[in-house]
Chains A and B, each alone.
Chain A
């Protein structure tokens, strides 16, 4: 059933934290305002002659990447699994119920979010391969998925000469801790997809589990009468997976008067 505003109402046991498209737009505008203040580099790109658009940011990263398995001296991860793990959710639909959500704690008063300090990435890993580090240009897009009512992260990466990175290379550039988590958990997988607005190949973080990990966060925020920017909160979870920095200042520079309450189930 929907009321006049077009919001979804569901029975209590079916409560799902999904985001309407207009909420996505509002959240993006707020994020943009903050990004401007923090000089974080996000911009809004609109599709010709329409309301639709997406958030975009580019960033340079200095990384060691190669297309063959990446081993560090601390712990080796079989890269032969990386091909299957990119589609691991297909093979483990029954296990997802047992998976613990990486960002929810059982304590409703606190929400733990596991974020790896990005600075460690280049320090801790000693590559046994012969490749040296190179500067790569990453491009990140945040789109709205109407099928899943959530934001979706698309990204692509190039060398400075303009060569695009393959899935294997992108996979190898993900911090080993996250690679482990991605392999074990069907919550997130990365695959190559067609960008729905631009039509070009991008890598995408699957959105089908977003609602699941956002639910406890949004529920807790509602219980505590705390306004939350859905897109920003979601971004803080997924960004570390793909080497995207989301400065903590986003979360401490909140101006209560400009925040809105997000769509909530009723």
Chain B
């Protein structure tokens, strides 16, 4: 399989989506509370983070809100505070994937819910989270050897590539994080998180190898069977859940190693959403 060609799809040019919209962005409609004009419609990049791409939103709303009334900005959808430290695409797939577009998000400037959301008072906080994920992913993939061999400027390049939407700049460094010794057949463990909204547990993340000790290639289905068996129906049972990555449902037979190399987010994690099949 041509890794470079497929890899280019991960960041931005991945196309083809059952919803009929480019999988690289999500159409969002942001309004301030109390719900009233002005509202702003934006294309939000799936791979980025809410607080990173909404500077203009903040400026826009600050024109009409008194400075006294402005504290830390946060976002909410249908009563649920949106976790800015999750990639935007994950938030959309988790909360709004089967709803009518545009995705209506409410922007708040008061009563920050500090029991639910992490604070995000500057871009350096987002950078720290992003780099922390990359470091953790590499701990799983390579026992941290690749990320530790990088220099400070290389780490910075990963972040700047994401922040400034510079695909080539990002991948010049990220390709090193996607390599593995050929004799191993894949990474040591696959960095993944499975999200769902049916319980309080925010995500499932455990150790899982891309290849079994006997040499069998593990698939997405194998992963779910091990980590979230109720996501996969038994023979004869109706399908109750959708397993969504970047807004699409990959075939359960897809090799996990391939998914990790090509459908990971820029933070090097495979973010997988398990959502109930719509009942209508």
A residues adjacent to B (C-beta < 8 A): 2, 16, 47-48, 83, 86-87, 90-94, 146-148, 164, 166-167, 191-201, 206, 208
Contact = CB atoms under 8 A, between A and B. Distances in A.
A94 B119 contact: no
Nearest to A167: B119
B258 interface: no
Contacts of A147: 136, 139-140, 191, 205
A91 B131 CA distance: 11
Contacts of A191: 128, 132
11 contacts: A48-B199, A48-B201, A90-B131, A90-B155, A146-B206, A146-B207, A147-B140, A167-B119, A191-B128, A195-B202, A199-B201
B215 interface: no
B128 A196 contact: no
B160 interface: no
A192 B118 contact: yes
B135 interface: yes
B168 to A, nearest CB: 23
Given A146-B207, A208-B139, A199 B144 contact: no
Q: Which DSSP category, helix, strand, loop or mixed, fits chain A's interface?
A: loop
B201 A197 contact: yes
Interface residues on B, range: 20 to 34
B117 A201 contact: yes
Contacts of B152: 91-94
Given A90-B155, A146-B207, A47 B201 contact: yes
B205 A201 contact: no
Contacts of B148: 93
Interface string B120-149: 000010011001100110011001100010
B115 interface: yes
A199 B202 contact: yes
B114 interface: yes
A194 B151 CA distance: 27
Contacts of A148: 136, 139
Contacts of B115: 164, 200-201
Contacts of B201: 47-48, 197, 199
Contacts of B131: 90
A65 B205 CA distance: 36
A194 B132 CA distance: 12
B205 A196 contact: yes
Contacts of B136: 147-148
Contact of A192 (B119, B143, B207): B119
Lowest 8 CB-CB distances: which A-B pairs, in order? Answer: A199-B202, A87-B128, A147-B136, A147-B139, A146-B207, A192-B118, A201-B118, A147-B140
B116 interface: yes
Given A194-B202, A208-B135, A208-B144, A93 B151 contact: yes
A16 B145 CA distance: 13
A163 to B, nearest CB: 9
Given A93-B152, A164-B115, A191-B132, 20 more contacts: A16-B143, A90-B131, A90-B155, A93-B150, A94-B152, A146-B206, A147-B205, A148-B136, A164-B114, A191-B128, A192-B118, A194-B83, A194-B85, A197-B201, A199-B200, A200-B115, A201-B114, A201-B117, A208-B135, A208-B139
B139 A193 contact: no
Contacts of A195: 202
Contacts of A16: 143
A93 B155 contact: yes
B203 interface: yes
Contacts of A93: 148, 150-152, 155
B36 to A, nearest CB: 30
Contact of A194 (B118, B128, B206): B118
B20 interface: no
A198 B116 CA distance: 10
B124 to A, nearest CB: 7
B181 interface: no
Interface centre among B143, B155, B191 (most CB of A within 10 A): B143
A146 B118 CA distance: 22
Contacts of A87: 124, 128
Given A146-B205, A191-B128, A200-B116, A94 B151 contact: yes
Nearest to B213: A2
A200 B116 CA distance: 5
A83 B127 CA distance: 13
Contacts of A86: 128
Contacts of B151: 93-94
Interface centre among B117, B144, B155, B202 (most CB of A within 10 A): B202
B118 A166 contact: no
A2 B212 CA distance: 12
B16 to A, nearest CB: 31
